[in-house]
Amino acid sequence: MVDQVAVRSPPEGQSLRRDVSVWGSFMWGFADVGADIYAALGLVIAATMGAAPLAFAAAGLVYIMIGLAYTELASTYPVAGGGQYYVSRGLGDIAGFIAGSALLLDYTIDIALFAVFSAGYVNFFFPAIRNFKVTLGPFAGIAPLWAAESFVLILLLMWLNVRGVRESSLLNELIGAFGLVVEAGLIVIGLVFAWNPALLADQWLHQFPTLNQFMYGSSLAIISYVGLESISQAAQETRRPATVIPRTSIGLIGSVFLFAVFFSITALGILPWQEYAKDVDHSVALLAHRLPFVGPMAGPLAALLGAVILLISSNTGVMGASRLVYSMSQLNLVTPWFRAVHPRYRTPVRSILIFSGIGLVEAVLAFLTPSAVDALANLYAFGATLGYTLVFIALITLRFKDPYSPRPYRVPLNVRWKRQDGQVVHIPVIGFLGLVGVLITLGEVVLTHPLGRIAGPCWVLVCLAYYVTYRLRRRLPVLRSGPHSWEEQQRAVLKDAEEYDLLEAYEFGLAQRDRQRARGQAHA
């Protein structure tokens, strides 16, 4: 399929086009995170029972710190690549590749998981499709029609993303706005007309999960909070990113946290947790259908919206995977073959086709397990927590290694420290707190997700084998970093983004550094 598409490497001066506005950037994130509640609500309630609001809140506190870290890094380094780029710049090539492989696992799983859930919400209208199951040899309970729906959706998204980010972003903006209104409406109507606090309290007091169940469910809840990586992936295609990204991210952090927590509180005050556990593939539609007055209309509307917004989230996975690999190829972490840009649409077409294809294969394999959504969610949580662990370390390290790059947004709670060379470093307290929080979540994943702790590390090891082979064949160092002109890259990025004030501040900081070094050498 790749050979049939004309591609070429981008000539000097050609890069991904900047088409994403403030609203488009917000909707890239909301399409991923806002949609995740449609997938996570039933899964987390089934695992944590009466403690689901606590599970969403605990994961949400870690997510807030992750979001603040990404806001700083994406506005400071507005390039495609996201967490992988930050880790490469802060910790070196091999750490950057590990972060990239973990996040790439997430994006390919994102493609598969949300396409499967999108089809699940479609099947709210056609339950016979979901319930039609066959046995193939040792594999029992396979849902071939549901699988076929998921495959068609993934193929559609591959075509859409080859056409370009402008079309993809427009799809997000139109449907995402409608999604915001409907989600808020479901919560308000549910709390006002149907919510029973006694039912919520009874489940909290008498149907509380074991520690192992809570660890499993709270680590799954992190899949409700993953879209900020998508915003950073689109940073190189965002207009005036130093201004847009902080506004986008802060708004997204607050809105999505409130949506996730209030959805779980509303849900458990309307129906017992067992009802959601039966229909995890369309739990929000089930909630909407049980609302008084509007239920007969709200149920089908929520199912339709869930199908569409989950498709957008799967679309965000296609975009994120392709831009991530595009960035890794620019840093010589993967072959430049992935760097090829379509001559007409200027999109990384090879990356789109290859890694969307991997998502398609993951969906096929997931349908061979007892529960496709459980299998994919297990892997999703592993990739996210491993990648975020390295991003927090990179945030802290870059404060020391690169204090000269202007930071339009800086995470709150910093301790000023003046080094011997006179340079002031702002040590991020939230960076350390977030690192502890995400390490705890990673530990929960390893302890409670059997598939995640086996298949996740295997994915990273296979990717590392590729990395070693590629670097040896290119005669590049394996354990050390290759040559990178970080300062020249930063100048070029700020110029391309038309952030001329930041470029001037950066040049001033570098000039001060050079003068300090010259004085130090003179005294020596």
Please give the pLDDT value at position 517: 80
Spatial distance between the Cα atoms of 25 and 39, rounded to a whole number of angstroms: 22
Please give the pLDDT value at position 14: 44
Phi and psi, residue 47, nearest 5°: -85, -35
Instruction: Clarify whether residues 357 and 491 are in a common domain.
Output: no
Domain count, the chain: 2
Helix (H) or strand (E) segment spanning residue 427: strand 424-428
Phi and psi, residue 190, nearest 5°: -65, -45
| Spans of the chain below 70 pLDDT | 1-34, 165-173, 226-239, 524
Phi and psi, residue 132, nearest 5°: -75, 115
User: Could you tell me where the DSSP H helices lie in 49-141?
Assistant: 52-76, 83-91, 93-122, 127-131
Instruction: Clarify whether residues 523 and 450 are in a common domain.
Output: no
Instruction: Clarify whether residues 434 and 515 are in a common domain.
Output: no
Please give the pLDDT value at position 24: 60
CATH number reported for the structural domain that contains residue 47 in this entry: 1.20.1740.10
Q: Is residue 7 part of a domain?
A: no
Instruction: Clarify whether residues 231 and 87 are in a common domain.
Output: yes
For residue 10, the 8-state DSSP code is P
Please give the pLDDT value at position 227: 63
Instruction: Clarify whether residues 460 and 504 are in a common domain.
Output: no
Please give the pLDDT value at position 1: 36
Closest CA to 268 of 72, 441, 12, 55: 55
Instruction: Clarify whether residues 255 and 196 are in a common domain.
Output: yes
Q: Is residue 4 part of a domain?
A: no
Instruction: Clarify whether residues 120 and 206 are in a common domain.
Output: yes
Spatial distance between the Cα atoms of 33 and 308, rounded to a whole number of angstroms: 14
For residue 135, the 8-state DSSP code is E
Q: Is residue 253 part of a domain?
A: yes
Instruction: Clarify whether residues 426 and 331 are in a common domain.
Output: yes
Please give the pLDDT value at position 507: 94
Domain interval for residue 517? 486-524
Q: Is residue 9 part of a domain?
A: no
Helix (H) or strand (E) segment spanning residue 174: helix 165-189
Condensed to tens digits (0 to 9), the pLDDT of residues 435-471 reads 999 999 999 999 998 888 899 999 999 999 999 999 9
Please give the pLDDT value at position 498: 82
Instruction: Clarify whether residues 436 and 515 are in a common domain.
Output: no
Q: Is residue 3 part of a domain?
A: no
Please give the pLDDT value at position 2: 36
Angstrom distances, CA of residue 55 to CA of 22, 63, 223, 437, 445 = 31, 12, 12, 13, 14
Instruction: Clarify whether residues 391 and 522 are in a common domain.
Output: no
Instruction: Clarify whether residues 219 and 365 are in a common domain.
Output: yes
Q: Is residue 112 part of a domain?
A: yes
Please give the pLDDT value at position 283: 94
Angstrom distances, CA of residue 290 to CA of 95, 179, 426, 474, 511 = 48, 19, 51, 60, 65
Instruction: Clarify whether residues 421 and 336 are in a common domain.
Output: yes
Assign 417 to helix, strand or coil: strand
Condensed to tens digits (0 to 9), the pLDDT of residues 252-284 reads 888 888 889 999 999 999 999 999 998 899 999
Spatial distance between the Cα atoms of 152 and 490, rounded to a whole number of angstroms: 40
134-136 and 424-428: which strand pairing? unpaired
Instruction: Please state, as a whole number, how many other Cβ atoms lie within 10 Å of the Cβ of residue 462.
Output: 11
Q: Is residue 498 part of a domain?
A: yes
Please give the pLDDT value at position 231: 64
Q: Is residue 431 part of a domain?
A: yes
139-142 and 134-136: which strand pairing? antiparallel
